[in-house]
Chain A
């Protein structure tokens, strides 16, 4: 593998791992705060799936890099600019509706991505995708069911769900951003070309929103930057909390 393609693969593994880690972390913030106990358990299950995925992916990223960094080195000792997660995943939980909107947007995208990755020529990516696609199918089902209930529930829930959708819409474009390095991986059959997902994503999300009697936002203005490590302010706070203990005792074993 050339130095360039190794770097590209490393970045991609980081991106997948960071998406899972940051979104899983956000969902874990719901623990003990859910709208009903059954939902606490559901959100934690999703968080656990994602944290599990992140461990596998960050370990793999460390392997590709070949400098001996572990999953924890990568999770706890990188700065916000070194994180590659999509902007959507780091957005704050907001209310339950906003959390559901984020999960719907992300899970539809993840379903597309994982279907492509299942065919990856990289055995680790393909193996990861085969496992994660089932987990994600449940996350998607959960998010879609809740979107229906909140959109077509009461006036208040409809208002909140619409607000959540509208507020997060501008962060969805970043999911489909590709870099030149990505295109190398695409041509090697290692990853799918996410820039081609957009139309199908919009169709699937619109179908759910429409069934939920919600309005699909019309704005075509999207935030971007995660591919270059330019994040929202929210990420540095999240990392400040997540990394605080590990960084206070560098080198300690836990």
Chain B
């Protein structure tokens, strides 16, 4: 018992000095659990996040856009893999993590339960959703768990093009025909509020936030990050000549920030709890890919076993 107290003191001292926690270091059980939950949730979000954009790869309106979108969705698979690897260093297998996703035990970012209805959604997702994600991810580069931090550094480096390509799509639409511009505005209307919800519940109502901040897993709160996103995005929308669908959005000189309207938290919680437009389809597609691939994974294992046996045999002979 005393030992645990001592270990926890050492652990906290390390965090205070700004040192990283590495896989073999002692860590409080709750730190481990919180991290596994957060990293795997993050990984699941990347993987499920392939679907809303994957929808439009086959319909991309130019070959350049097609290549870019393919590369972007591929990056998401890659980022999912980096994150699963980071989670695996905490002694949980990817098999278990995927099982939690497939059985609905693990959550992923609710934003991916919204539909991508038009091409402009490819722009809005890149610009807004990736823009919001980057704010979170830049912070997570300094997260206290070494493997998570390293994964985030790599991810941030690679993701820098994601938001740009989204904004570029929006620019093309905003400068295009009246129909294209309307398409862009419609996408902004539908994605603005769900994007703000990505930062999670208000600080006053977030049950996980305090521990995460104390352990330096997170370094800024949900509300701080959300504010940062709004402040950055307003000028970008103005440049496009599009209107952010929040009549209460107004610069507050005193605070040095934009004031904004209230998020529809009822919608937020309903989507989190499974009643978003695409919760069922996203999970169904993921589980189908997993199940349809089972025979492929088994075949590769069987071949590897045969080959190992043959090689061992030839060594003896």
Cβ contact within 8 Å between A32 and B285: yes
Cβ contact within 8 Å between A51 and B293: no
Q: Is B263 an interface residue (CB 8 A)?
A: no
Q: Give A72 Cβ to nearest chain B Cβ, in Å.
A: 5
Q: Give A85 Cβ to nearest chain B Cβ, in Å.
A: 15
Knowing A33-B285, A249-B177 are in contact, say whether A38-B81 is a contact too (CB < 8 A): yes
Q: Is A36 an interface residue (CB 8 A)?
A: yes
> Which positions 47-69 of chain B face chain A at CB distance < 8 Å?
47, 50-51, 54, 57-67
Contacting residues, chain B, for A154 (C-beta < 8 A): 295, 298-299, 302
> Which positions 175-227 of chain A face chain B at CB distance < 8 Å?
none
Cβ contact within 8 Å between A252 and B176: yes
Q: Is A44 an interface residue (CB 8 A)?
A: yes
Interface residue stretch chosen among A4-12, A166-174, A239-247: A239-247
Contacting residues, chain A, for B84 (C-beta < 8 A): 37
Closest residue of chain A to B71, judged by CB? Answer: A48
Q: Is B70 an interface residue (CB 8 A)?
A: yes
Knowing A55-B64, A254-B62 are in contact, say whether A34-B74 is a contact too (CB < 8 A): no
Cβ contact within 8 Å between B58 and A253: no
A128-151 interface bits toward B, Cβ cutoff 8 Å, 1 = contact, 0 = none: 000000000000000000001110
Say which residue of A29, A48, A153 sits within 8 Å of B58 (CB atoms).
A29
Knowing A37-B80, A54-B63 are in contact, say whether A28-B285 is a contact too (CB < 8 A): no
Q: Is B179 an interface residue (CB 8 A)?
A: yes
Say which residue of A21, A37, A148, A252 sits within 8 Å of B47 (CB atoms).
A37
Q: Is A112 an interface residue (CB 8 A)?
A: no
Q: Give B100 Cβ to nearest chain A Cβ, in Å.
A: 15
Cβ contact within 8 Å between A249 and B302: no
| A95 CA to B62 CA, complexed, in Å | 28
Q: Give B176 Cβ to nearest chain A Cβ, in Å.
A: 6
Knowing A150-B299, A252-B177 are in contact, say whether A36-B293 is a contact too (CB < 8 A): yes
Knowing A149-B303, A254-B119 are in contact, say whether A31-B296 is a contact too (CB < 8 A): no
| A52 CA to B67 CA, complexed, in Å | 7
Say which residue of A48, A153, A160, A242 sits within 8 Å of B67 (CB atoms).
A48
| A242 CA to B69 CA, complexed, in Å | 14
Say which residue of A37, A76, A244 sits within 8 Å of B77 (CB atoms).
A37
Contacting residues, chain B, for A54 (C-beta < 8 A): 63
Cβ contact within 8 Å between B296 and A41: no
Closest residue of chain A to B94, judged by CB? Answer: A37
Q: Is A108 an interface residue (CB 8 A)?
A: no
Q: Give A123 Cβ to nearest chain B Cβ, in Å.
A: 23
Contacting residues, chain B, for A245 (C-beta < 8 A): 59-61, 119
Contacting residues, chain B, for A150 (C-beta < 8 A): 296, 299
Cβ contact within 8 Å between A253 and B176: yes
Chain B residues with CB under 8 Å of chain A are 47, 50-51, 54, 57-67, 70-71, 73-74, 77-78, 80-81, 84, 119, 169, 172-173, 175-177, 179-180, 285-286, 288-289, 292-303, 306
Closest 10 CB pairs of A and B: A35-B293, A153-B299, A157-B299, A35-B296, A44-B74, A32-B50, A149-B303, A32-B54, A254-B61, A153-B303
15 new A-B contacts at CB < 8 Å, known A29-B57, A44-B70: A28-B57, A29-B58, A31-B74, A34-B289, A35-B289, A37-B47, A37-B81, A37-B84, A39-B296, A44-B71, A44-B74, A55-B63, A153-B303, A157-B299, A254-B176
